[in-house]
Structure 1
Amino acid sequence: MMNDAALRKIDLNLLLAFSVLMQERNVSRAAERLLLGQPGLSAALRRLRETLDDELFVRVGRGLQPTARALSIAPAIEDALSGIERAIRPPAAFDPSSWQGEFRVGMCDNLESDFFGPLAARLRGLAPNARLTGVAFDKREAGRLLDEGAYDFSISVHDEPASWHIRAPLFNQASACIYDPRHIRLDAPLGLEDFAKADHITVSLEGNTLTNVDLALARVGYHRQVVATVPRYSALPMALRAMPAIATIPESIARCMAQLHNLTVSQPPLDLPADPVTMLYRRVDQADSRAVWFRRLFVEVVADALHASGCRVGVSNAACCYEQAPLAVAV
């Protein structure tokens, strides 16, 4: 067990002075290397002698000769100083091309549909030996799962984070209406009357039917008929293709569904607030080169995917914590 009381008597500068004196065997040259005056080095040597109860170095002519005690402890002190130097050395650059391991990201299913595929493809090209795992989660459990190591970060409309987490903005998610033009023969953009008269499908994991759309309609004197509620976004396209109904969902997933299932996207005829999509990660990972690289990659994937889908939103790089540099370079 480490003897804390003994270690408190010696600071790092004394050990460094001992090491340089052992190498130089000359006070003047040692003082020059240490950027000290000879009186300062002599004072350090005096403290070492008092602490170790040994003369350590004896003046012989113009040089110094180490005592048996000094010779016996020198290898251990050199090893200790080398270990400290290695420990405080800046971490090596993260090299995704050679890294072997797993990246894990938590996303709800609407964001997963938008970004998981492009992220996996980009990661495969940059880090061919890595594996990407998507973790489904309830945003109410996001902090707990993050602390348990379920993922590197999560993407959602997160609640207020704990003090040991960081919630970084990504983009503001607008709403969009989506429907099958074979069943609903209306051109975009939809009018308020047509929107309110149509049947509607909602998405809710808990089965809730009242949403911000209903509140916005009520404010302008309308209400709508919700005919179905699906628990996940993955069930929505086939439901819309099966019946004449409108769904009002996040714009990014709406545009993704429209491209895959020949559906029509329309701006809502209501003023609906945008949802702030954020990234939640651990404060202890803020400067880790691997974690920063992965967060930065994800931000770039999100920006590219939103642009490709036609979403006109800006993506924040607040989650990156990096200076602009090529992806393969540590950040």
Structure 2
Amino acid sequence: MKRLPRLDLNLLQIFDAIYTKGGVSAAASHLNLSQPAISHALAKLRAMLDDPLFIRQGNRLVPTGTARAVAEPIHAALRELVAALDGAGSFDPAQSTREFRIGIRLAGEMSRFPALASRVLAEAPHVRLTSTAFRRRDLVAALANGDLDVAIDVDLPVEDRLCREPLGVEPLLVAARIGNDRIAGTLDLDRYLALDHVFATPRPHGPGIEDIALARLGLQRRVAVRCQHAITAWQIVAKTDMLCTLPRSHVRMLQDIWPMQLFDLPIAVAQSSSYLYWHRAVQADVGLAWLRAIILEVMREE
């Protein structure tokens, strides 16, 4: 085991930059250091750890097994140290120029991000706010390495390294074109099944929550159109006699653009809960604590 007094924190920061940015040049640019300085630091680390850490393959530096083994603990430790130092000071939203990166799935950005961005920028006009998509299998890593500060998603199995807070549940509503002669002001299950449906999902395959509930009863709706975004589905419904089932938050946004007939879903479904996720390493970061409080407030209001 290496004695901590021999370790230079700057060397760990340089290792972390090389690993996360993918090379010496990118690390030098990220840290505002010269490439020779980065290379010198890497040579010292290699000698200290008795391992090459990165091996050149063509134009890429590929991490060794040792580098991969220590990369996440080093990154997490550095983030926790930065968060602790930030937490020892203060965060002034009115003056901050920080960038906050919020992970939001494509299906939820339209309904959630506008209200959130409006509230954040009202209190912190100089910050930068980024909405970014993510793969669920990469969520822990993205929160650990700082690619995301927080993430909003459905109920997921989480590790001890992640914290989460519930954002609540919302019902599904059914939209139909105003003037659709096949609906006489009400929508029962028989009529719901008799009409064709548009299904909005970024997934190329798989059923929706409503399809799962129908299948349990031995029933099935006909999905005539499958598209990637709720806006597209809404436009299709506006020009056809098809139906579209969407979360209430989506419907509220789209109803202002193109009014529809709205109905309660005529079948009981398992309510989908959403959660706010973040990494334990940034628990003490007062800036992120401020951001989390705003997200919780806005999402629960919605």
TM-score norm. by structure 2 comes to: 0.67
Aligned to 2:141: 144
In 2, the alpha carbon distance for the partners of 1:3 and 1:104 equals 32
Of the three residues 197, 205, 219, the one matched with 1:208 is 205
- Matched letter for residue 273 of structure 1: A
Offset of residue 164 of structure 1: 0.7
The counterpart of 2:265, out of the listed 248, 264, 268, is: 268
Q: Which amino acid aligns with 1:246?
A: L
Aligned partner letter, 1:285: V
Letter in 2 for 1:232: H
Q: Secondary structure at the match of 2:88?
A: coil
Distance 1:207 1:3, change over 3 A: closer
Matches within 5 A, 1:190-229: 190-208=187-205, 210-229=207-226
In structure 2, the residue matched to 1:171 is: 168
Determine if contact 1:258/1:264 at 8 Å carries over to the other structure: no
1:299 is displaced (CA, Å) by 1.4
Map 1:79-94 → 2, pairs under 5 A: 91-94=88-91
Q: 1:204 to 1:88 in 2, by over 3 A?
A: closer
**Higher RCO by CA contacts (8 Å cutoff, separation 6 or greater):** 2
Aligned residue type for 2:235: M
> How far has the Cα of 1:281 moved from its partner?
0.5
CA 1:255–1:265: 2 relative to 1, 3 Å: farther
- State which drifts further: 105-114 or 191-200: 105-114
Following superposition, the deviation at residue 196 of structure 1 comes to 0.8
SS in 1 for 2:99: strand
Provide the C-alpha distance between the structure 2 equivalents of 1:291 and 1:240, rounded to a whole number of angstroms.
40
Q: Percent identity?
A: 25
Deviation at 1:151, TM superposition (A): 1.8
Aligned positions of 1:73-112 closer than 5 A: 91-112=88-109
Matches within 5 A, 1:26-37: none
Q: Residue 200 of structure 1 aligns to a residue in which SS?
A: strand
Whole-Å Cα distance in 2 between the matches of residues 165 and 290 of structure 1? Answer: 18
What's the C-alpha RMSD, in Å, of the aligned pairs? 2.6
Shift of residue 210 of structure 1?
Answer: 2.8
Unaligned runs of 5+ in 2: 6-83
TM-score, normalised by the number of residues in structure 1: 0.61
Q: Which amino acid aligns with 1:150?
A: D
1:257 and 2:254 are equivalent in the alignment: yes
Partner of 1:247: 244
Find the counterpart in structure 2 of residue 154 from structure 1.
151
User: What amino acid is aligned across from residue 132 of structure 2 in structure 1?
Assistant: V
Say if 1:142 and 1:236 are closer, same or farther in 2 by CA, change over 3 A: farther
Moved more, 93-102 or 219-228: 219-228
Secondary structure of the structure 2 residue equivalent to 1:166 = strand
Alignment of 1:48-63 (within 5 A): none
Cα 1:187–1:162, aligned 2, differ >3 Å: closer, same or farther? farther
What code does the residue aligned with 1:118 have? A
CA distance in 1, matches of 2:181, 2:289: 46
Distance 2:262 2:141 in 1: 36
Greater Cα radius of gyration, structure 1 or 2 = 1
AA matched with 1:202? F
Distance 2:158 2:206 in 1: 27
1:236 to 233, 256, 278: 233
For the residue of structure 2 that corresponds to 1:213, the secondary structure is helix
User: Given that residues 106 and 133 in structure 2 are in contact (C-alpha distance below 8 angstroms), is that contact kept between their aligned partners in structure 1?
Assistant: yes
Shift of residue 285, structure 1, vs aligned partner: 1.5
